[in-house]
Each structure stands twice: as structure tokens, then as C-alpha cells.
Amino acid sequence: MSFCGSCGTDAGQGRFCPSCGAATAGSQPRPTASEMNSGQQPLYRSTPQPAYGTAPWQAPVQPNSAPTSKSLGTAITLLVFAIVGAISTWLPYLTDDYGDSLKGWDSRDPLEYWGEFSAGPIFIIVGTVISAIIALVIITNQNQAKNSNQAACGVFTLLSGLVILGAGGATLIALDTALQNEGITANQGIGLWLGCLSGLAITILGILILALPKATQVK
């Protein structure tokens, strides 16, 4: 119900007063957006509502992010040297001035014939496989935000490095002894040096794993 602003007569729901014909309040046009922006204040103001599940004084809850591993460098380095040690058994252990070479696995038969230590490549492979497994376990656990057993990983890495280093050193001595006894002149090949290098590196990495918790733990 509305009343005419001119004569005060009840205008009902019509747009014009039935008595004087003046326009009623319900027929007045609503203000446009430009008119409202020109200085007129809105009748009400909406209040931003807090995010669902949070109180007005609390910040919106952020989704939990997965823990990030502190360092994968040690495990990746361990895996690299394990691969290098395994590859070294297929590389030359001996070379001569004529370009001929004796690879790691091929050296076993001559060393057995000369009565010298010949199981070097086998021990090197065993040590590198153990080292690679440990590296993969650490990497997998860190990607799944899990801690690895620091003592077990460090001890097995250290032992596998010592096995590789010992096998490489024993093979080096055996070849030198056999060559001297047979009066053969030859040079040590790259395969034997890489095997010894990988054993030394893995031994050092085992010590680092035992000394640095971040090598096997996540944040």
C-alpha cells in the first residue's frame, strides 16, 4: 500500500494516484549504476564471508604439503659410483704397447692359471649391487616422505665399499705379481682403476651416511 505524495489519497498498487493523477512512489525509477557511483551510498553492504570451516579470526586452512627431503645428493652419488664400479669389470684391467687389453672378467682364467687371486670382479659386482640397492631404498623412502634406517644404510654402504676396494686392490696386486713372475710387460687398465676408485668413493659415502642424518631423513 502506498499514498499519493501530492494529495495523500491511498493510491493502492497503481502507478498513478486515482484522485489527482500524480505518480506514486512505486513508479519512481531505480537509480542506475552511474548514479550510485556518483556519490549515493548503497542501502546495504555485503560482508565477505569467511572460508568454509574457518572462524572469522582464523586464516583459511592451507592444504598440507608433503615433506621435502633434505638431501638426495648422497644417495644419488652412491648410485652413480655403484654403476661405475659394475661397469669397470667389463673394462680393460691390463693393456700393452700393441693395443691389446685384458678385461676384468677375462682376467679370471689367467689369474687362476697363475695361482693368484681371481675373484675380484665377482666381489666388485656383489659390492656394487648392495650399494645400488641401498641408494634406491634411500631415494624411494625420501620420495615417499619416509626416513631410512641411518645405521643400517651407513654400515652396509661402508662394508660394500670396503669389499669393492679390497677386491680391486687384491686384483691389482695379483696381476702385478703374475706379470713379474711371467716376465710380461703391461700397464694397468682403466677398468681396474675405476673399480678401486668406486670402492674408495662408496666407503667414504658410507662414513658420510653414518655421520649425517639428513642423508637418510626427510624434513
Beta-bridge partners for 187? 95
**What is the CATH number assigned to the segment(s) 73-215?**
1.20.140
Q: What integer pLDDT is reported at residue 201 of this predicted model?
A: 97
Domain ranges of the chain: 73-215
pLDDT digits (tens, 9 = 90+) for 123-178: 999 999 999 999 999 999 988 888 999 999 999 999 999 999 999 999 999 999 99
For the chain, the average pLDDT equals 81
Closest CA to 94 of 209, 197, 179, 210: 179
Strands (E), the chain: 2-3, 10-12, 92-95, 101-103, 187-188
Other Cβ atoms closer than 10 A to 196: 22
Lay out the sheet containing 187-188: strands in order across.
Answer: 101-103, 92-95, 187-188
Mean pLDDT for the stretch of residues 38-56: 52
| Whole-prediction pTM | 0.67
